[in-house]
Amino acid sequence: MKAEKADLGGSEFLDVNLRGAVFTDVCLAEARFTDVNLSGVVIEDVNFSHTVIRSANCSHLVIEEACYEGMTIDGIPVTELLRVWRERA
């Protein structure tokens, strides 16, 4: 299936296999993902501002070339964590 220049706002996808799907120039603002498997996914050039990730398995998660301003992990500012880490190195 290919959807191009489409407005699918308000759509619901229940028990859907999107393995190998490609999303380019897509707006997912205010979307909600529940019980989603994103293992092996590559996310590039994305705006995660004001995003909440809750009850997540972040083992082996890699974040590179990112802006961490205002980002927290379990309430701890990431910029502070990185500052302390760099001071110890």
DSSP 18-81: -TT----S---TT----S---TT----S---TT----S---TT----S---TT-EETTEEHHHH
Closest CA to 52 of 37, 68, 33, 79: 33
Task: Give the pLDDT band (50/70/90) at residue 10.
Answer: very high
Task: Please write the tens of the pLDDT for every residue from 24-74.
Answer: 999 999 999 999 999 999 999 999 999 999 999 999 999 999 999 999 999
Report the pLDDT value the prediction gives residue 89, as an integer from 0 to 100: 85
Whether the predicted pLDDT of 8 surpasses 90: yes
Q: Where are the domains of the chain?
A: 2-88
